[in-house]
Structure 1
Amino acid sequence: MDVIVGSRLCARRQSLGMSQRKLGALLGVSFQQIQKYERGTNRMAVTMLVRAAAALNAPVSFFLEGVGPQIDAPAQPRLHGGDIMVAQNLAKIEDRKVRAAFRTLIRALAQD
C-alpha cells in the first residue's frame, strides 16, 4: 500500500515538474523524506497525505483509489408499505421515552 501511494505521489509531483526539494519545502520535510515516501520506505500519515494532495493540487482519492479492501455498501432492509407507515408514525411520537419504549418493544419482538 505504501509503495502504491508513494508511486502516485512521485508521478503527480513529476507531472507538475516539481522537484522533491520543492515538495519537501511545501510540506515542511526534507527532500530525503519525500524520497522515502515515494519509494514506500516510510508511510505517510493521513495528515501529511492531505497536505501533499493540497500541494500537488490533487484529491486525496487520487493516492488511495483502489488501495485496500473494497467494501460493498451495507444491505438496506426491504421495507414494505405498512413498514414505512409504522416508521413514519413512530417518528411522529413527540415523547422521547415513549418512542424509545416502542423501539425496545419492536427489537424484542424481532428477536429469533
Structure 2
Amino acid sequence: MDVVVGLRLCARRRSLGLSQRKLGEAIGVSFQQIQRYERGMTRIAVATLVRVAAELDAPLSFFLEGVGPQRQEPEQETLHGRDASIAQALARIEDRKVRAAFRTLIRALTRPV
C-alpha cells in the first residue's frame, strides 16, 4: 500500500515538473522525507497526504484508488410492476405497528416450508 501511494505521489509530482525539494518545502517536510514517501519506505500520514494532494492539485482518491481491501456491494433485487406498487403502499402506511405487522406477515408467507 505504501509503495503504491508513493509511486502515485512521485508520478504526479513529476508530471507537474515539481522537485522533491519544492514539494517538501510546500508541505513542511524535507526532500529526503519526500524520497522515503515515494519509495514506500515511510508511511505517509493522512494529514500529510491531504497537504500533498492539495499542493499537487489532485483528489485524495488519486493516491488511494484500489488500495486496501475492496468491498463489493451486495446485489439488491429490483422491484417491478405490482411488486413495486405493493412496496410503495406498505411505505405509505402511517401506523408503525400496522406496517410492522404486514412485514411480519410477508416474511411468514415467504419462508420455505
Whether TM-score is above 0.5 comes out as yes
> Please, what TM-score do these two structures have when normalized by structure 1?
0.75
User: Which residues of 2 match residues 15-34 of structure 1 at below 5 A?
Assistant: 15-34=15-34
% identical aligned pairs:
71
3-state SS, counterpart of residue 37 of structure 1? helix
Q: Counterparts of 1:27 and 1:40 in 2: how far apart (Å)?
A: 18
**RMSD (Å), alpha carbons:** 2.5
Cα distance change, pair 91–24 in 1 and its aligned pair in 2 (3 A): same
Quote the residue 1:54 is aligned against. Answer: 54
User: Unpaired segments of 5 or more residues in structure 2?
Assistant: none
1:6 aligned onto 2:6: yes
Residue 29 of structure 1, CA deviation = 2.6
Mapped to 2, the partners of 1:47 and 1:100 lie a distance apart of 46
Residue 63 of structure 1 aligns to which amino acid in structure 2? F
Higher Rg:
2
Cα shift at 1:64: 2.9
Q: 1:48 Cα deviation (Å)?
A: 2.7
1:107–1:47 distance in 2 versus 1, CA, 3 Å: farther
Q: 1: CA distance between counterparts of 2:107 and 2:46? A: 39
CA distance in 2, matches of 1:50, 1:101: 50
Per-residue displacement from partner, 1:7-66 (whole Å, max 9, x unpaired)?
Answer: 110111122122222222332333222111100011223333233111101122322334
Matched to 1:31, the amino acid is F
Q: In the TM superposition, what are the counterparts of 1:1-112 in structure 2 within 5 Å?
A: 1-68=1-68, 70-112=70-112
Q: What is the one-letter code of the residue matched to 1:42?
A: T
Q: In structure 1, the residue corresponding to 2:13 is in which secondary structure?
A: helix
User: 2:97 & 2:31 partners in 1: Cα distance?
Assistant: 60
> Given the superposition, is the C-alpha separation of residues 53 and 85 from structure 1 closer, same or farther in structure 2, using an over 3 Å criterion?
same
3-state SS of the aligned residue for 2:41?
coil
Q: TM-score, structure 2 length as denominator? A: 0.74
* Number of matched pairs: 112
Structure 1: gaps of 5 or more residues: none
